[in-house]
């Protein structure tokens, strides 16, 4: 992979990270204003708690994605970005464009999914 592509992927990953962090910060400020006394009945309270639960679940997913982004940025720095962790072949540019945090080429990912499907 050439330097121009690496620079583009680095910028893409850094922008994704920035957006995730901004979103998390916004949610934290909104979450701190939650007051159960403002809710008139149990149904409103239950609905609000469900919404909060969903938001926290999404935040957990975003935290996991942030870790993947950091690992991808580290791979750019150490020269292993775009190399499949399993077969050590190059990951296609098309796949990296779609999912820049990927660590497996499409063939290895399909094999992994087939194994998961057969075990689970």
Cβ proximity of 74 and 29 under 8 Å? no
Reference 75, options 100, 106, 111, 107; nearest CA is 100
Q: What is the CATH number of the domain that holds 70?
A: 1.20.120.910
Buried residues in 93-111 as b, exposed as e (16+ CB within 10 A): eebbeeebbbbbbeebbee
Could you tell me if 54 and 41 lie in one domain? yes
Taking only the tens place, the pLDDT of each residue in 12-65 is 999 999 998 888 777 666 654 555 555 567 777 677 777 777 777 777 888 899
**pLDDT in the model for residue 40:** 67
Task: Report the domain count for the chain.
Answer: 2
Give me the residue label for tokens 């499907």: 117
Domain range for residue 46? 1-81
Same domain membership, residue 101 and residue 69: no
Q: What is the pLDDT of residues 76-114, one digit of tens each?
A: 999 999 999 999 999 999 999 999 999 999 999 999 999
96 and 107 in one domain? yes
Within 8 A by CB and 6+ apart from 120, the residues are none
What is the reported pLDDT for 29?
A: 64
Per the confidence metrics, is the pTM higher than 0.75? yes
Same domain, 88 and 53: no
Q: Are residues 58 and 111 in the same domain?
A: no
């Amino acid at each position: 992979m050439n330097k121009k592509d690496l620079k583009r992927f680095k910028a893409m990953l850094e922008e994704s990270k920035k957006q995730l962090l901004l979103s998390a910060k916004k949610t934290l400020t909104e979450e701190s204003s939650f007051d159960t006394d403002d809710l008139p009945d149990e149904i409103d309270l239950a609905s609000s708690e469900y919404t909060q639960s969903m938001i926290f679940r999404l935040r957990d997913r975003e935290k996991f994605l942030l870790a993947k982004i950091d690992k991808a940025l580290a791979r750019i720095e150490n020269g292993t970005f775009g190399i499949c962790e399993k077969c050590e072949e190059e990951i296609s540019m098309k796949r990296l464009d779609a999912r820049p945090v990927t660590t497996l080429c499409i063939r290895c990912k399909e094999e992994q999914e087939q194994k998961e499907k057969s075990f689970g």
